[in-house]
Amino acid sequence: MTTRTPLMAGNWKMNLNHLEAIAHVQKLSFALADKDYEDVEVAVLPPFTDLRSVQTLVDGDKLKIKYGAQDISAHDSGAYTGEVSGPMLAKLRCTYVAVGHSERRQYHGESDEVCNAKVKAAYKHGLTPILCVGEGLDVRKAGDQVSYTLAQLDGALKDVPAEQAGTIVIAYEPVWAIGTGEVATPEDAQEVCGAIRRRLAELYSQELADAVRIQYGGSVKSGNVAAIMAKPDVDGALIGGAALDADEFVKIVRFRDQ
Ligand SMILES: O=C(CO)COP(=O)(O)O
């Protein structure tokens, strides 16, 4: 049985300017001790405008916290106003990039094909995608959450070779649980995360599926993280609102103490 290092990642969404970002990362690094990083990986996904400041801080002080972007262009360069490319993120030494967050899918019309192109762009430039999948309320009410989420997974991983897919992080984020305070039960999270792992085994191999980390995201807080993390196929969390409060985020990182 492979041991997977949990990944606790804060998705700041469109919050914290670069000065606030510096203060926030300093607060996290002050609060987190070396032993916190022994068996949990900690990452933040700030807005693009913060990344240079975060990189300077992390590099300068050799912080153990990792960072990444919330989106990536499918294109390497050119006339794509407003977009930020894989080479630019790689130059900033980002480790991760979120792909296909439900807010990108919902407000920016990102299809599974677009997500697939972005996953490929991330790998092309040495970035690790955190691929977000998950169903909306209507799908959940109809009981179709597993088939819906697996179709998103299949679409985003189309023609992605095993050498790349073996390092992917999948974030299962049921849309109805994002920012609503409505957290999925640990059993809800396990049902879909387990199905995602089985699909990865079908698409690639059991060995690959056992190595891939699958996060849960949606109203994760210090008070509910331990129960979710206790499920066998949940290997971390993608945290929105609670990641903006440094003390709360540190408690989530220390989920074993909660
Ligand atoms: O979308 C999320 C993380 O990507 C979850 O957001 P909340 O934790 O605010 O529900």
pLDDT for residue 36: 96
Tell me if 50 sits within 8 A of 21, measured CB to CB.
Answer: yes
Whose structure tokens read 């972005």?
118
1 — pLDDT class (breaks 50, 70, 90) = low
Closest protein CA for atom 6 of ligand 1: 240
Tell me if 53 sits within 8 A of 21, measured CB to CB.
Answer: yes
ipTM topping 0.95: yes
Ligand 1 atom closest to the CA of 101, numbered from 1? 4
The CATH number covering residue 154 comes to: 3.20.20.70
Comparing 91-100, 142-151, 174-183, 242-251, which segment has the lowest mean pLDDT? 174-183
Pocket of ligand 1 (CB under 6 A): 11, 101, 173, 178-179, 217-220, 238-242
Structural domain count, the chain: 1
Range of the domain at 151: 7-257
pLDDT for residue 2: 66
For residues 66-84, average pLDDT: 98
Please indicate, yes or no, if residue 1 is contained in any of the structural domains: no
Ligand 1 atom closest to the CA of 241, numbered from 1? 9
Please indicate, yes or no, if residue 2 is contained in any of the structural domains: no
Please indicate, yes or no, if residue 79 is contained in any of the structural domains: yes
Q: What's the gap between Cα 1 and its chain centre?
A: 23
State which H helix or E strand residue 199 sits in. Answer: helix 186-203
Tens digits of residue pLDDT in 80-138: 999 999 999 999 999 999 999 999 999 999 999 999 999 999 999 999 999 999 999 99
Q: Is 173 a catalytic residue?
A: yes
pTM given for the model: 0.97
**φ, ψ (nearest 5 deg) of residue 53:** -65, -40
What residues form DSSP beta bridges with 10?
44, 239
